[in-house]
Chains A and B, each alone.
Chain A
């Protein structure tokens, strides 16, 4: 569900890939034309960093494969759709923090849940934690920020997501439902 359509241009992943490859190609050509030595330096730097980060990436992908299999889209939808009030917000924030979904899956899912009558504030908690809080990206984030700051940043973002959910609930008049 992550890559199946990656080769078609109508798919956001495909479009992102094309954009990324085009940008990289242009940047690389310009860089080569201006200064060969600097470009070589950049290439070596990129390879070194990539190799260094690869174990953390592999860990993230293992965690992703396990969670997406144990918690497929339908299960996530059912978990979020079960409760609607504040309990629903809490569950949605928890699920959103743990699972990892690209936007082109998460938003259609949220749209479908909205049509089923799930409140906006529950979906706000879900999408906001999904985008800002990362249990699965922990191995990568730790490489950059270290363990404790990673935990602090994620805790802060969880709190922000809950405030956002409350505000969205207020805007749509969903408080007390």
Chain B
């Protein structure tokens, strides 16, 4: 029921936006036209990116055994699981928006909650191309300081959040 209402809200937002952009062209309202153009170029970028990303995730779902993920990232996994999670997050392309579908997939395969949150947060902290770019602009001292402080904090926060939510019987929304 609530999901239905949300879908309708999203549809209404899209329609309202479309009408607003169309009206902006009619009355020559610059900012509205610019919003429409931005939407168009962004949509094109995403339409190029999404099918590949979702196909890779689906291939992961089909081919990687549940036991493999469970053994390395499941409830019994040790601290080294955070290293695997960090490496996995380091290879994430795009940004947070592509980390969520991957996180869902990992959850479905039996990864524990703390690692799911750590994956998403790490995707914001240590994507490899991002680190290289950041260091070249801001200097290695900046990047090193940022990483040295944020990595332990991410692990601590994700672990605590995971434990708290696992006690409450929370599960990630799956498809």
Residues of A within 8 A of B (CB): 2-4, 6, 12-13, 16-17, 19-21, 23-24, 27-28, 31, 38-39, 41-43, 45-50, 52-53, 55-62, 64-66, 68-70, 100, 102-104, 107-108, 110-111, 114, 120, 123-124, 127-128, 131-134, 137, 139-141, 143-146, 149, 152-153, 156-157, 160, 163-164, 167-168, 171-172
A65 touches which of B38, B44, B120, B175 (Cβ 8 Å): B38
Residues of B within 8 A of A160 (CB): 121, 150, 153-154, 157
Residues of B within 8 A of A (CB): 7, 10-11, 13-14, 17, 31, 34-36, 38-39, 41-46, 48-59, 61-63, 93-97, 100-101, 103-104, 117, 120-121, 124-125, 127, 129-130, 133-134, 137-138, 141-142, 145-146, 149-150, 153-154, 157, 161, 165, 170, 172-173, 175
B93 touches which of A4, A19, A28, A42 (Cβ 8 Å): A19
CA distance A43 to B51 in the complex (A): 10
Residues of A within 8 A of B161 (CB): 149, 152-153, 156
Residue of A nearest to B14 (CB): A58
Task: Verify A48–B175 contact, CB threshold 8 A.
Answer: yes
B149 touches which of A20, A134, A163 (Cβ 8 Å): A163
